[in-house]
Amino acid sequence: MADNYITKLNQLADDHGRFELISESGRFLVAGSAILFSRIVNMKRYNGHKIVIVVAGYHILLDTALMKQEYPQEVVEDNNTTIYRRNASLSPKNIHVAGRLCDTYDVFPFSGVSNLDHARIGNYISFYNVGAYSVVFNMPFHCQTKPPIVMKTSSGDFQLVRKGTTYENLFEEEEGSIL
> What's the confidence (pLDDT) of residue 179?
67
Long-range pairs, 15-21, Cβ under 8 A, ≥24: none
What is the C-alpha to C-alpha distance for residues 77 and 85, in angstroms, rounded to an integer? 12
pLDDT value of position 41: 95
Say what the pLDDT of residue 53 is.
94
Residue 143 CA: distances (Å) to CA of 1, 53, 92, 134:
47, 19, 32, 18
The mean pLDDT values, 10 residues at a time, for the chain of 179 residues are 86 90 74 88 92 89 81 78 45 80 85 85 92 72 80 90 86 75
The answer to whether 22 and 127 are in contact (CB under 8 A) is no
Residue 128 corresponds to which amino acid? Y
**pLDDT tens digit sequence for 15-44:** 999 888 877 667 777 788 888 999 999 999
Cα separation, 21 vs 29, whole angstroms: 18
Residue 62 confidence (pLDDT): 81
User: Taking a C-beta distance cutoff of 8 angstroms, is the pair 73, 38 a contact?
Assistant: no
Closest CA to 60 of 169, 147, 166, 151: 147
Distances (CA, A) of 20 to 4, 13, 16, 17: 18, 10, 12, 10
Please give the pLDDT value at position 86.
Answer: 42
Indicate the burial class of 170 (C-beta count within 10 angstroms; 0-12, 13-18, 19 or more).
Answer: middle
**CATH 2.40.37.10: does it fit domain 27-140?**
yes
Domain residue ranges of the chain, discontinuous segments joined by +: 27-140, 145-179
The pTM (predicted TM-score) of the whole model is 0.70
